[in-house]
């Protein structure tokens, strides 16, 4: 029985690590999110799961969706809007450069 319990624990740990990795990645991709926001959110999830014994998936749901919710809660609206504008400008420039490379054959 003990071997089976260790296997179940390892599977839970693996699921938790995968959830946390995806959550951190998706959170970092949100407009205006910096290292401090990611660290705060990871701490909140870790503390909650340690106190309740819940798995992150059960407590917070899909990591992608929760990352969007956390960003909306922790990132000031003006900073997120500024980041979205900057991302749009970079995307537009990238598109122009790609078209120029296609035209010139580079």
With 90 as the cut, is the pLDDT of residue 103 above it? no
Q: Distance between CA atoms of 85 and 92, rounded to whole angstroms? A: 11
For residue 95, pLDDT over 90 is answered with no
Rounded CA-CA distance 57/49 in Å is 10
pLDDT, tens only, 30-40: 988 999 999 99
pLDDT, tens only, 74-84: 886 766 566 66
**Residue 1 pLDDT class (50, 70, 90 cuts):** very low
Average pLDDT over residues 45-74: 95
């Amino acid at each position: 029985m003990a071997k089976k319990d260790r296997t179940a624990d390892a599977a839970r740990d693996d699921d938790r690590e995968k959830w946390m990795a995806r959550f951190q990645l998706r959170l970092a991709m949100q407009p205006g999110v910096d290292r401090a926001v990611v660290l705060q959110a990871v701490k909140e999830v870790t503390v909650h799961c340690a106190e309740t014994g819940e798995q992150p998936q059960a407590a917070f749901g899909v990591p992608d969706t929760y990352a969007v919710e956390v960003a909306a809660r922790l990132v000031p609206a003006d900073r997120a809007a500024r980041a979205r504008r900057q991302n749009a400008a970079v995307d537009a420039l990238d598109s122009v450069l790609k078209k120029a490379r296609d035209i010139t054959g580079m």
